[in-house]
Amino acid sequence: MLTPLNLKALSQQPELFAPGHRMCTGCGAPIVVRMVMMAAQHPVVVANATGCLEVSTSIAEYTSWKTPWIHSAFENAAATIAGVETMYRSLKKQGKISDDIRFIAFGGDGGTADIGFQSLSGAMERGHDITYICYDNGAYMNTGIQRSSATPFGADTTTCPVGSDNPGKLQQRKDLTRIMAAHDIPYAAQASPSHWQDLMRKVRKALDIRGPKFINIISPCNRGWRTQTNDAIQLSRLAVETCYWPLYEIENGTTTITVTPRAKRPLSDFLKPQGRFKHMFAPENAWMLEAAQKHVDAQWERLQREQMLFVKPGTSE
């Protein structure tokens, strides 16, 4: 029976992701992982790309994973879980296994949008029954805050440092959720730990759908974002409310915005608390704030128009 998505019921459910791991204080990733694992109502096998999550949860002879877990390399979590899932299908077909198992891969944005991109795209195209979850903290945080293709415009990182000749990252981030949706997979979604019921509902939906699924989840990193250790949830909420990180899903080609902010806040509300964007608030860099806002506005506009394509005639929205 499904555990209802309320705190009382969930707090009584045994957890598959144990405490005692060595993720940084205030990190968003273990919060995200805990929510994902709590949402799962079936036996789950997990693959993990190399990264903060992997390295901090599997320091031998301890493991935080109370469910089967495999880490192979940085760029191959999707191919690895695809191999596990293929063996599962083979053994199931041969009558050698009876469990009804779900397969989840976790990767950071570097392991997913950059080095693991080909592996992920291949696994999605082949149609494996897997759910790939990217926890996006917007840089290579594990190796020391280097830029990734998911790093937002303007961010100060260790490989695009703000200096006299460089105002931070000059490119907009790669929109991985849309790229995954373009694979015409049955389910692609974007979620945030600030909206935990929305997140867990999306995970449950993904795990109930057969075929390849992708969920991109924003995951604040106080080390890389240059923020406090107690504001991961607040920041991820601001990411949603500024429409920097809209919450939506694309199910069988139909786009639905799952949480529409009551009032869209200016992007600077999300950027201002973060040290990585501090330079953007200098008067000479006003153009950067404008460019970033313009990009978010255009993306939000596009997403709303995309949703409208699927609104049935006669409905109010």
Q: Which residues contribute to the site for other proteins (CB under 8 A)?
A: 43, 45, 47, 54-55, 58-60, 63, 65-73, 75-76, 78-91, 93-94, 97, 99, 101, 118-119, 121-123, 125-126
Q: H or E segment at 216?
A: strand 213-218
Q: Which is nearer to other proteins, 72 or 258 (CB)?
A: 72
Q: Which is nearer to other proteins, 121 or 307 (CB)?
A: 121
How far apart are CB 294 and other proteins at their closest, in Å?
A: 36
Sign of CA dihedral 233, 234, 237, 239: negative
> Which residues, at least 6 apart from 279, have a Cβ–Cβ distance to it below 8 Å?
154, 156, 162, 167, 168, 285
Q: Which is nearer to other proteins, 43 or 275 (CB)?
A: 43
How far apart are CB 184 and other proteins at their closest, in Å?
A: 16
Query: Which residue, chain included where needed, has tokens 């795990």?
Result: 207
Q: Which is nearer to other proteins, 30 or 167 (CB)?
A: 30
> Which residues, at least 6 apart from 135, have a Cβ–Cβ distance to it below 8 Å?
28, 29, 32, 33, 53, 106, 107, 108, 109, 217, 219
How far apart are CB 116 and other proteins at their closest, in Å?
A: 10
How far apart are CB 300 and other proteins at their closest, in Å?
A: 33
How far apart are CB 162 and other proteins at their closest, in Å?
A: 33
How far apart are CB 117 and other proteins at their closest, in Å?
A: 11
Q: Which two tokens stand for residue 126?
A: 């082949």
Q: Which is nearer to other proteins, 88 or 248 (CB)?
A: 88
Q: Which two tokens stand for residue 226?
A: 């240059």
Q: Which is nearer to other proteins, 143 or 252 (CB)?
A: 143
288-302 b/e with 16+ CB inside 10 Å = b?
bbebbbebbeebbee
Q: Which is nearer to other proteins, 184 or 297 (CB)?
A: 184
How far apart are CB 233 and other proteins at their closest, in Å?
A: 28
DSSP characters over 224-277: HHT--TT-HHHHHHHHHHTTSS-EEEEETTEEEEEE--SSPPPTHHHHTT-GGG
Number of alpha carbons in the 13 Å side-chain half-sphere of residue 269:
16
β-sheet bridge partners, residue 105: 47, 132
